[in-house]
Amino acid sequence: MINRMKQVAIILSLLAGSLAGGALTAEAAMIAVGDAFPAWEMKDQSGKEVTSTQLAGKSYLLWYYPKAMTSGCTAEGQALRDAHPQFVARGVEILGVSFDKPAANAAFAKAENFPYRLLSDDGALAVQVGAATSRDQGYARRISYLVGPDGKVLKAYGSVSPSRHASEVLADLPPS
């Protein structure tokens, strides 16, 4: 009886968290594999506008990271940097995304010699794709999407290991 009560309490706690905008809500908001990824436009680290329309016909990895220059984000960015030639060879563009301003992303890209663009999301896309529960959250969840040339989600990564993410995505790419 006590174990059953504990199970009910845990379920109610999870439901309450999801109704209050907790982690379950954000994960539930992720775009499903096979669905069209929403149209977007963001500024890169140099202030240049980048849009999903510009990437039509190309595959890309959109990796959300919480904050520039932090340990987990740096580890993930470095792993993607080191694997960048393999992504290019497979026809996949890497795009990092955070709530950081372009200047912070520029400093991050320069410090780590990232060969790919880092984009600044004002929170609008992050909420649509499950990287944040609100625009006011201040940081994004560590998630990624592999988007195909047709604009549809090939793979959604709701749980990411910073040091292993690059190799995981490469393993998920169709054979070239």
Q: Active-site residue numbers?
A: 73
Residue 75 confidence (pLDDT): 96
Q: Are 24 and 39 in the same domain?
A: no
Helix axes 71-89 and 102-112, enclosed angle (nearest 10):
70
To 5 degrees, how large is the angle CA 171–CA 174–CA 176? 105
Q: Are 69 and 141 in the same domain?
A: yes
Beta-bridge partners for 43? 49, 120
Q: Are 110 and 52 in the same domain?
A: yes
Q: Are 72 and 103 in the same domain?
A: yes
Q: Are 3 and 38 in the same domain?
A: no
What is the number of alpha carbons within 13 Å of residue 52 lying toward its C-beta? 17
Give the per-residue SS3 of the chain: CHHHHHHHHHHHHHHHHHHCCCHHHHHHCCCCCCCECCCCEEEECCCCEEECHHHCCCEEEEEECCCCCCHHHHHHHHHHHHHHHHHHHCCEEEEEEECCCHHHHHHHHHHHCCCCEEEECCCHHHHHHCCCCCHHHCCCCCCEEEECCCCEEEEEECCCCCCCHHHHHHHHCCCC
8 A C-beta contact, residue 21 and residue 134: yes
Q: Are 68 and 42 in the same domain?
A: yes
Q: Are 85 and 7 in the same domain?
A: no
Range(s) of the domain holding residue 124: 31-172
Query: How far is residue 1's CA from residue 101's CA, in Å, rounded to a whole number?
Result: 53
Q: Are 97 and 154 in the same domain?
A: yes
Per the structure, how many domains does the chain have? 2
Q: Are 19 and 45 in the same domain?
A: no
Q: Are 25 and 103 in the same domain?
A: no
Backbone torsions φ then ψ of 51, nearest 5 degrees: -130, 160
pLDDT means per 10 residues, the chain with 176 residues, are 49 43 49 96 97 97 95 96 97 96 98 98 89 84 96 96 96 85
Residue 17 confidence (pLDDT): 41
Q: Are 87 and 51 in the same domain?
A: yes
Q: Are 147 and 104 in the same domain?
A: yes
Residue 26 confidence (pLDDT): 39
Question: What CATH number is attached to the domain comprising 53?
Answer: 3.40.30.10
